[in-house]
Amino acid sequence: MKLQRIIKIKCYESLIFISIFLLTIVSNSIYEAVSLQKNLNSQHIDTGFIQLKDNYDGFKGRLSIIEFFNEPNSLDKMKKLYIDIANDNNLKYYEILKQPLTYIGEYKGNPICTKGEEFINKEVDGKLMTTVNSLQIGYKTSNYLNMKDKIECGEYFSGDDYLLDESKAVPVVLGYSYLENYNIGDYIQCDYLFLNLKLKVIGFLKKDSKFSIEYENFLDDKIIMPSLNIESDNFSDSKFTKILYSLKNTGYIPYDNDSEYNYITTTVDNIVDKLDIDWTYRGRVENPFKENPVNISVKASKIIKISSWILSLILLILIFILEKKRCDFEDFSLNKRDRLIMKTKIFGGTLLQIILLYIITCFILWVCFRSNVIYFTLKNIQIRVFPIMLLGFIIIVYINNLHIEKSVKE
Give the mean pLDDT of 350-370.
81
**Residue 55 · residue 282 · CB < 8 Å:** no
Give the mean pLDDT of 276-289.
77
The reported pTM is 0.64
CA distances from 61 to 55, 56, 58, 96, 255 (A): 11, 10, 7, 30, 32
Answer yes or no: is pLDDT of 46 > 70: no
Question: Which pLDDT band holds residue 409 (cuts at 50, 70, 90)?
Answer: low
- Helix (H, G, I), strand (E, B), or coil: what is residue 199? strand
pLDDT of amino acid 183: 95
Helix (H) or strand (E) holding 205: strand 195-205
99-139 tens-digit pLDDT:
999 999 999 888 889 988 888 999 888 889 999 999 999 99
Answer yes or no: is pLDDT of 400 > 80: no
162-205 tens-digit pLDDT:
999 888 999 999 999 999 999 999 999 999 998 999 999 999 99
Long-range contacts of 245-248 (CB under 8 A, 24+ apart): 245/75, 245/78, 245/79, 245/82, 246/54, 246/65, 246/69, 246/78, 247/97, 247/99, 247/193, 248/78, 248/82, 248/95, 248/97, 248/138
- Helix (H, G, I), strand (E, B), or coil: what is residue 227? coil
239-248 tens-digit pLDDT:
899 999 999 9
Q: Vertex 165, ends 164 and 168: CA angle to 5°?
A: 120
CA distances from 148 to 152, 205, 407 (A): 9, 9, 81
Question: Which pLDDT band holds residue 300 (cuts at 50, 70, 90)?
Answer: confident
Q: Which of 31-40, 204-213, 286-295, 306-315 has the lowest mean pLDDT?
A: 286-295
CA-closest candidate to residue 140, choices 88, 196, 94: 94
Averaging pLDDT over each range in 166-175, 252-261, 319-328, which range is the top one? 166-175
Helix (H) or strand (E) holding 217: strand 215-218
73-91 tens-digit pLDDT:
999 999 999 999 999 988 9
**Residue 25 · residue 361 · CB < 8 Å:** yes
Give the mean pLDDT of 282-286.
69
Instruction: Give the dihedral sign, CA 231/236/239/243.
Output: negative
Question: Which pLDDT band holds residue 325 (cuts at 50, 70, 90)?
Answer: confident
Helix (H) or strand (E) holding 314: helix 298-328
pLDDT of amino acid 268: 94
Instruction: Give the dihedral sign, CA 125/131/134/136.
Output: positive
